[in-house]
Every structure is written in structure tokens, then in C-alpha cells.
Amino acid sequence: MPRSKKGRIIPVAPVDKLIREIGAHRVSADAAEKLAEILEDMGKEIARQANEFSSFAKRRTVTQKDIELAYKMWRKT
């Protein structure tokens, strides 16, 4: 299960484990790396939107509510 990080924020090994938890018997390295890349992109987009919400509210701290709202909005698209 050793996977390279390739400059990612999200390590690939936990993503491999995540895929196996849903019942996959084997996971290719490319599949785990691609999902890690996708999860990072999704996370960055949600974080960017949450940051906009906190800025709009004239706060410097992104809160759990900001993340939850950004996630709800992301899911609708």
C-alpha cells in the first residue's frame, strides 16, 4: 500500500483505505492518486467559498457553519 504523495496535501494511502472501506478488494495506485486529486480540488473549492462567506460577514475566521454552507452550495451544483 505504499503510495507516493506527489506534492499533495491529502496523502494517497488514506484514500486507498477509504476506497477499500466501501468494499473494493484491490485499488490501483492510479485510482487512489486520482481520487486524492479530486478530493483536494473539491476541498479547495469548498474552502474558497467558505472563506468568501466569512469575509462577507467581516470575520477573519472560517467557521464550521461557513464550511457547512459552502458544502451545501457545492452539492447543489
> Per-residue pLDDT for 55 more than 70?
yes
pTM of the model: 0.84
Alpha carbon distance 6, 54 (integer Å): 31
The reported pLDDT for the residue numbered 69 is: 97
- Output 61 or 8, whichever has higher pLDDT: 61
Query: What are the tens digits of pLDDT across the range 3-44?
Result: 455 677 899 999 999 999 999 999 999 999 999 999 999 999
Superfamily for 12-76? Histone, subunit A (1.10.20.10)
Cell 505504499, located at residue: 2
**Backbone φ/ψ region at 23: left (φ over 0), alpha (ψ -120 to 50), beta:** left
